[in-house]
A and B are shown apart, each in its own frame.
Chain A
Amino acid sequence: MSVELVPLLQTRFPKEVLVSHHYQGQATAILKREGLLALARFLRDDPSTSCDMLMDVTCVDYLKFGKSQGSSPTLATPSPLPYYMQPKSMTERWERLVSSEDFRFEVVYHLYSTTHHHRLRLKVPLTLADPVVDSLTDVWASANWFEREVWDMFGVQFTGHPNLKRLLMYEEFKGHPLRKDYPVHKRQPLIGPVN
């Protein structure tokens, strides 16, 4: 079961795994980026885990996490939003287990084992100054295009990737569109008018 993966990882890789949990039956481990490649090879090759399928690689930008509104509404300054959209206290929202000030991005890997039928989520927090992580194309071939998409949309670089080019946007596109500080209404057509 997925639940046993988490203690197994913590005993085998105590220094690389920062924190882990299994919320709602889903095992998640947050790693240091140095330990990612070794952990990935272990997860694929070890017969007790044998995670032979990389389901997804994606990235989250935590720039505006928890900061959608300035502060909680008070009686003097009630929120202009309706009740169900008012900012909620930290305990009512998603928690982030590493600090958002230090780590802006988090690359998320979803693994699945077709033999044991368990799933695992790995998260690698990265800073804006150095958004680089090891590529997993040698371990799972499906990582190739997933990592190209993450590079295209977020600007996270993958060392050792055979062909890190943009996948969804055209090569001359400037910027990384799914970052939170990419202007939402900006348009850069390759041919044709801007508006």
Chain B
Amino acid sequence: MSAAPDLGKLNWTTTRLDAALGWARKFSIFQYPFVTACCGMEYMATATSHYDMDRFGAGFPRFSPRQADVLFVVGTISHKLAPVLKRIFDQMAEPKWVVAFGVCTCTGGFYDNYATVMGIDTIIPVDVYIPGCPPRPENVLDGLMKLQDKIAKGATAVLPTDISARPAELQAPHRPEAHL
């Protein structure tokens, strides 16, 4: 007999399906480590055996944006490199996430000069900020787990944020003399 589909049960099924999909996605991260500077050392330290990103499923970096789903921006981004970063981000397919690794990518770090991008969220949308100069591997894994929560919920990369959408501790003051 053909019973009408029970919509209550169907919702439960789809939420379980979403949860399973989220679980699967969060433990199969293919990151693109866009490493430019000193934070790369801490990225490598986190990836190798002592702290081990592979147990979170992030053990296989993909050095092509077409094959990656998470963009780890590691290290200072200069104005000369910024269009390249935007292009790499644009080449990634949905769903994609961005991790700003290190305080240079979060807010510009201790640099405040003619050459450094004051935070990559001025160019591309960022999902997780991992501050630190460089961040301890424990911090990196904490950020990775926050990213995993975001992936599991199914929240993909947010729309381009402006600086006011940063977390409170990473806000930067407006400086009128920069427009000279």
- Decide if B177 touches A192 in the complex (CB within 8 Å): no
Which residues of B66-120 are within 8 A (CB) of A? 78-80, 82-83, 86, 114-115, 117-118
Are B180 and A186 within 8 A (Cβ)? yes
- Residue interface mask A122-135, B partner, CB < 8 A = 1: 00000000000000
How distant is the Cα of A168 from the Cα of B162 in the complex, in angstroms? Answer: 27
Contact pattern, B 25-47, Cβ under 8 Å of A = 1, otherwise 0: 00000000000000000000000
Number of A-B contacts (CB under 8 A): 55
Compute how far the CA of A173 lies from the CA of B113 in the bound complex, rounded to whole angstroms: 14
A35 → chain B closest CB, angstroms: 34
Chain A residue nearest in CB terms to B78: A168
A81 lies within 8 A of chain B by Cβ: no
Residues facing A in B1-32 (CB within 8 A) are none
CB <8 Å contact, A168 and B80 = yes
On whether the beta carbons of A191 and B180 are closer than 8 Å, the reply is no
Contact call B114/A188, Cβ cutoff below 8 A: yes
Whether the Cβ atoms of B80 and A185 lie closer than 8 Å is no
Q: Is B141 an interface residue (CB 8 A)?
A: no
Is the Cβ of B80 less than 8 Å from the Cβ of A192? Answer: no
Closest A-chain residue to B177, C-beta based? A185
Among A168, A182, A187, chain B packs the most CB atoms within 10 A around the CB of: A187
The answer to whether A194 and B178 touch (CB under 8 A), given A169-B80, A170-B80, A189-B82, is: yes
Whether B179 sits at the interface, judged by CB under 8 Å, is: yes
Q: Mark B118-131, 1 if CB is under 8 A from A, else 0.
A: 10001100000000
| Contact call A190/B82, Cβ cutoff below 8 A | yes
Contact A192-B178, Cβ < 8 Å, known A168-B115, A170-B79: no
A194→B163 CA distance, assembly (Å): 12
Cα of A188 to Cα of B114 in the assembled complex, Å: 7
Residues of B within 8 A of A173 (CB): 79
Please report the C-alpha to C-alpha distance between residue A91 and residue B35 in the assembled complex, in whole angstroms: 48
Kindly state the separation between the CA atoms of A153 and B122 in the bound complex, as whole angstroms.
25
Q: Is the interface of A mostly helix, strand, loop or mixed?
A: loop
Known: A169-B79, A185-B180. A191 touches B114 (CB 8 A): no
Contact A169 B180 (CB under 8 A): no
- Nearest Cβ on chain B to A18's Cβ, whole angstroms: 33
A189 CA to B79 CA, complexed, in Å? 6
Chain A contributes a number of interface residues (CB within 8 A of B) equal to: 18
Taking a contact as CB atoms closer than 8 A, the residue among B80, B162, B177 that contacts A190 in the complex is: B80
Given contacts A170-B80, A183-B180, A187-B178, contact A192 B115 (CB under 8 A): no
Contact A191 B80 (CB under 8 A): no
Q: How far is the CA of A192 from the CA of B117 in the complex (A)?
A: 8
Give the residues in chain A near B123, CB-CB below 8 Å: 191-192
A177: Cβ under 8 A from any B Cβ? yes
Contact B114 A177 (CB under 8 A): yes
Instruction: Assess whether A195 is in contact with B174, with CB atoms less than 8 Å apart.
Output: yes
Select one of B122, B174, B178 contacting A186, CB under 8 A.
Answer: B178
**A162 on interface, CB distance cutoff 8 Å:** no
Whether a CB of chain A sits under 8 angstroms from the CB of B55 is no
B50 at the interface (CB under 8 A from A): no
Question: A193 contacts the other chain (Cβ, under 8 Å)?
Answer: yes
Measuring CB to CB, which residues of chain B are less than 8 angstroms from any residue of chain A? 78-80, 82-83, 86, 114-115, 117-118, 122-123, 162-163, 174-180
